[in-house]
Amino acid sequence: MTVTIETIEAAARRLQGVVIETPLLINRYLNDKLNAKVFIKPECLQHIGAFKFRGAYNRLSQLSDEQRKLGCVAFSSGNHAQGIALAAKLLEMQATIVMPSDAPQLKLDGTECLGATVRQYDRATESREDIAAQIAVHTGATLVPAFDDWDIMSGQGTVGLELVNQLKQQGLTPDAVLTPCGGGGLLAGTSTAVNALAPTTAVYGVEQENFDDHFLSKQAGKRVKIAGDMPTMCDALMATTPGELTWSINSKTVDEFLVVDEEEVMMAIAYAFRYLKLVVEPGGSVALAALLSGKLDITGKTVCIVLSGGNIDKETLNRCIEKYPD
């Protein structure tokens, strides 16, 4: 199996009437600042405040009746957790989510409010993969990876399918598309859709500097594992190595990987709040951060960025706004 434009279009049919087709936004302040035409795909406005619902529903909706009775299990710091929890609720399934005890409280609460059972673990001493695997063995529940799964990637690819078609309706083809990159599922799906529908468009993945495993893997020509022991606000991007399946796609479909630091992320969050009137979480803001910090020259070009999530706690949001009030 793999991810193709056909599997993404099939996912879009399953998601029709269930997922929010998020709009493409344009902002005069941003365009004037960057001297470009920038379209914003705000997945922070998606169900559960992140794109993750797309892949989760596409995966769970294909389970058999018997599999649904046994439920599902997943591990996640928050957005995949909430995506699985909501998809399971809509499909009348039981979901168990293995989440780190230091996950943002907003995401822990959101997952539990959707009816999922949360099993917390200690990042330093426990393996979330082992815990989830044990639950799956003991209960018969279906284990649903956060990104390294063909159906998950195909569901996330509907973001790319939508944005290209939305631009085509305006008679436009983007010069570049930028998307956040953690495990690489959103990027794999989006890049596949963009490559198929707009082959002249360059695709960029954006990472946080302490979790730049894709950037390093691109340079090395193979998957590189990083220590992953540095702190970051971007809890959604804390994968330490590209997924085996996601990298089989991204190594071919992504032109370059860009890297931003914590200060650039904070500035992007504050900018989105003040000028775009959008609440964006740290990991969801990195594509905007890359443009605002000049990681890519887009002068005179048409560019689309994905703001992948908006689940940020008020303390972090206030800290960013106070540090970058202008």
Asked whether residue 93 falls in the same domain as residue 32, the answer is: no
**For residue 166, pLDDT beyond 80:** yes
pLDDT for 128 beyond 90? no
Return the bridge partners of 73, or none. 96, 143
Q: What is the mean pLDDT of residues 86-96?
A: 97
Whether the pLDDT of residue 106 is over 90: the answer is no
119 in the Ramachandran plot: left (φ > 0), alpha (ψ -120 to 50) or beta? beta
Q: Are residues 205 and 287 in the same domain?
A: yes
Tokens linked to 59: 């995966």
Alpha carbons 272 and 40: distance in angstroms, whole number: 11
Model pTM score: 0.95
Angle CA 117–147–82, to nearest 5: 30
Q: Which of 37, 48, 41, 49 has its CA nearest to residue 21? A: 41
Domains in the chain, number: 2
Q: Are residues 313 and 265 in the same domain?
A: yes
Q: Region 26-52: what's the mean pLDDT?
A: 98
pLDDT of 21 > 80? The answer is yes
- C-alpha neighbours within 13 Å on the C-beta side of residue 286: 31
Q: Which of 19-28, 60-69, 120-129 has the lowest mean pLDDT?
A: 120-129
So what's the pLDDT on residue 78? 77
- With a CB cutoff of 8 Å and minimum separation 6, the contacts of 124 are none
* Mean pLDDT (whole number) for 197-203: 98
Same domain, 45 and 58: no
Q: Are residues 160 and 62 both part of a single domain?
A: no
- For residue range 240-270, what is the model confidence (pLDDT) as tens digits? 999 999 999 999 999 999 999 999 999 999 9
Based on the domain organization, do 230 and 298 belong to the same domain?
A: yes
Specify whether 259 is located in the same domain as 186: yes
Last residue of a domain, one of 148, 181, 211: 148
Which domain CATH number covers 12? 3.40.50.1100
Shared domain check, 244 and 301: yes
Q: In this predicted model, what pLDDT tens digit does every residue of 311-323 receive, in sequence order?
A: 999 999 999 999 9
| Phi, psi of 99, rounded to the nearest 5 degrees | -125, 145
**Distance of alpha carbon 163 from alpha carbon 26, whole angstroms:** 13
Question: Which element (helix H / strand E) includes 319?
Answer: helix 314-323
Of the three residues 148, 170, 190, the one that is the final residue of a domain is: 148
Instruction: Report pLDDT for 167.
Output: 98
**61 and 42 belong to one structural domain:** no
**For residue 30, what are the domain limits?**
5-50+151-323
Residues 66 and 169 in one domain: no
Indicate the helix (H) or strand (E) that contains 99. strand 95-100
Among 113, 148, 183, give the residue marking a domain's end: 148
Instruction: Looking at the structure, tell me whether residues 131 and 160 fall in a common domain.
Output: no
121/190 same-domain check: no
C-alpha Rg value of the chain to the nearest Å: 18
